[in-house]
Chain A
Amino acid sequence: MTSAILECAVFLLLVIGLAWPLGAYMARVYTGQSKWADRIFGPIERLIYKVCGVQAGAQMNWKQYAGAVLVFNLLGLIVVHVLQRVQLWLPLNPAGLGNVPPEVSWNTAVSFASNTNWQAYGGETTLSHLTQMLALTTQNFVSAATGMAVLVALIRGLTGRLTTDLGNFWVDLTRTTLHILLPLSFILALLLVSQGVVQTFLASVTVPLLEPTTGADGKSIVEQVIALGPAASQVAIKQLGTNGGGFFNVNSAHPFENPNAFANLLEVVSIILIPAALCFTFGRMVGAQKQGVALLVAMLLIFVPLLALTVASENQANPALTALGVDGTMGNWEGKELRFGPTSSAIWAVTTTAASNGSVNAMHDSFMPLGGLGPMWLMQLGEIIFGGTGSGLYGMLVYAFIAVFVAGLMVGRTPEYLGKKIEAFEMKMASLVILLPSAAVLIGTAIACSIPAGTGPLGNPGAHGFSEILYAFSSGSNNNGSAFGGLTVNGMFYTTAIGICMLIGRYWVIVPVLALAGSLAKKKTVPPGAGTLPTHTPLFIALVAGTIILVGALTFIPALALGPIVEHLALR
């Protein structure tokens, strides 16, 4: 247990230690003050604007900004869909993989455009190298950059005075990709290759088996065909951009995506690095670092207890196996790799679901019931405890608005956040942001439970089967992308239903958030008075965390009780 606690401490210290300088750098990127980086990337940036006909100084109002986001994402979605449908006839397909069926390809297109990276596809058995690169890697970058751009627009809404200007989406997208995501990914990719993550255009390497085995057809098998590919470049951005879609079917549990404990530490820190750093970026951009720190602390208040719950659960032996003469001291090992073990697997599971990453280094379906509950609830809270790049913090800010509103109701004063009055329109938009994804989770689960197309593909019986469905809709509707993998999701029902949920969870949140930004920008900033609730104090931090837990508990505890909690009580 001591080493588990130490490992958690090392992880959290690394995240915060790296997030601080990165957050400061990103603030300089978004305010145009990153001088040395501008010297390196400036010429490329200007060339991009010239080629694409972007006027870098032109400001957008919220509707123009939202329009640009939606058109750009729709085009990306179409390209990803089409590339999969014709991959057989395109180059860089050394394994000769066929065209992807339309329902899987539509699902994957929505999945990557919306920064979800839900895997209805099978990685090495479904997608060509060209599809992985041109379609998936590109979306990994631009969907992450889209989230960060929307966040920056919201911050400009908070800091702007009596204006409609929220910045320029094309500039924010370009600067995010060029100054932040590309350099970080490049460094991480090379570090990962040095540890054993593959990066080649060969389809596979064939090696002899030391002891030949027999296949299902009775034939002797003397060789092992090992799938390869340009994995490191994709793995780096899939972690940094809270994307999570794997190069291989089993994602970061595959030794070629995650070869040892050091690579695992690099990757798990990368998952949460940018979402954590954006808290510091926010603090700097609004001119009060304590405001960003307050939100980070509120996130940690929810993150750390759920981390403890999951780490403790996975270090418990499964009583059903101990009864069979299996060692009762080693923890739960089904679906886990020796390189990581129960503790590193649990830390990853909590991190990947807190941030809306969704890559996995162990099979969540085989976690102990309460070990699976932590990750599931973190997704259901709306992917705001760190959350996706940008999308996590804009979701968190919405909760901060709700917290000041609730506090305002209690003392009978018009609520303010950073000098902006939070009024009826803001609360309507905030309600949409919270209600729509939650409704998608619960309604989707209810439909799936009541039709054969929903229950037929289950991989496990009983309460755990219900958990599989609940997890799937929680993951899709909140743009996480991890899964209880026993559920077969490449059929018509799940590809369609989860596809719709992913669209709701992403774009029906982005539009209200940008509307909020537009409305806030138009207001004047009122100076703090004697009755103003300060938004950096322990009181406010507790209020925000309490609001999140209250909303999350009221919405989801009944559903969680039917799944993981029943299973936990039965497994004694």
Chain B
Amino acid sequence: MLKLTWTALRILIVFTLLTGLLYPLAVTGLAQVAFPTQANGSVVNVAGKPAGSSLIGQGFTADKYLWSRPSATAPFAYNAAASTGSNLGPSNPALADAVKARVATLRKADPTNLAPVPTDLVTTSGSGLDPAISSAAAAFQLHRIAGARHIPAADVEHAITGCTQTPLLGIIGPAHVNVLCVNLALDGKRVQP
């Protein structure tokens, strides 16, 4: 029994060093050399300064910006230090109440738009940090943004198209629009890789 435990302990120590230390260190070393931008959070720069991450969403409430999806993170939306989803079940009245309030906010900001509200624009994402919205949700906001900025709708559309990701192989995942990318473009900020 003692011999068995001693062998087990040595095996555990060896594998802790090999898989718990050497392996992550080797991956980190190679990742930092080969893919430094991705390995450090895909931060995008404007005029040499960080201006957000292309993978992490930010919240927007001004009429002139494209709005992100609602976020369930606390204590404020899009808190990227503590990811979380709402975990509300489909039949939970709290979900219906929250969605009702979000629909009302969208209608108030753009009273002439009577189209059905795109589902993703009134539901929270799994991470609370979703950087994207659906093409339908972007199109839904197009005229509000153009109106608030006093620019032609085509300019907004151009910004949206430039930040749209099409489905993988044409079938996998819906087409979606990176919100921060659109808003930086609308503000005329040139993003450097």
Contact = CB atoms under 8 A, between A and B. Distances in A.
Interface string B59-81: 11110010001000011111111
Contacts of B56: 224, 226, 255-256
B161 interface: no
Contact of A338 (B124, B169, B174): B174
A7 B39 contact: no
Contacts of A248: 83, 127
A53 B92 contact: no
Interface residues of A, number: 132
A199 B59 CA distance: 25
B41 A254 contact: no
Interface stretch (A313-321, A392-400, A514-522, A539-547): A313-321
Interface in B100-133: 100, 103, 116-120, 122-133
A513 interface: no
A261 B136 CA distance: 19
A254 B129 contact: yes
Contact of A462 (B7, B91, B187): B91
A207 B49 CA distance: 9
Nearest to A336: B126
Interface stretch (A214-222, A303-311, A419-427): A214-222
Nearest to B97: A324
B85 A255 contact: no
Interface stretch (A25-33, A158-166, A283-291, A364-372): A364-372
A215 B78 CA distance: 11
Interface residues of B, number: 104
Interface in A244-272: 248-250, 253-256, 259-262, 264-265
A79 B21 CA distance: 15
B41 A228 contact: yes
Interface in A319-354: 320-321, 324-328, 330-341, 343-344
B134 A338 contact: yes
B27 A233 contact: yes
B163 interface: no
B116 A255 contact: no
A76 B173 CA distance: 39
A448 B86 CA distance: 23
B58 A211 contact: yes
B92 to A, nearest CB: 5
Nearest to A487: B87
Nearest to B166: A261
B72 to A, nearest CB: 9
Given A198-B39, A230-B27, A190 B34 contact: yes
B7 A75 contact: no
Interface in A122-136: 122-125, 133-135
Contacts of B53: 205, 207, 226
Contact of B76 (A189, A215, A327, A461): A215
A377 interface: no
A537 interface: no
B159 interface: no
A366 B49 CA distance: 38
B90 A571 contact: yes
A234 to B, nearest CB: 7
Contacts of A338: 69, 120, 125, 130-134, 174, 176
A159 to B, nearest CB: 26
A193 B14 contact: no
B120 A318 contact: no
Interface string A20-62: 0000000000000000000000000000100111100000000
B125 A460 contact: no
A482 interface: no
Contact of B83 (A205, A209, A254, A262): A254
A567 B173 contact: no
Nearest to B178: A338
Nearest to B96: A320
A173 interface: yes
Contacts of A336: 120, 123, 125-126
A141 interface: yes
Contacts of B176: 338-339
Contacts of A277: none
Interface stretch (A66-74, A408-416, A436-444): A66-74
Contact of B171 (A3, A215, A365): A3
A360 interface: yes
A366 B120 contact: no
A369 B89 CA distance: 8
A201 B80 contact: no
A170 B12 CA distance: 10
B42 A196 contact: yes
Contact of B87 (A227, A237, A330, A484): A484
Given A228-B40, A233-B28, A138 B16 contact: yes
Contacts of A366: 85-90, 95
10 contacts: A54-B11, A141-B15, A200-B31, A200-B41, A326-B118, A335-B86, A335-B123, A338-B131, A363-B85, A366-B87
Given A330-B119, A344-B172, 14 more contacts: A48-B11, A134-B16, A137-B20, A207-B50, A324-B99, A326-B117, A327-B118, A334-B88, A338-B125, A369-B91, A464-B92, A467-B89, A567-B89, A567-B90
The 4 closest A-B pairs by CB, nearest first: A253-B126, A486-B87, A464-B89, A261-B173
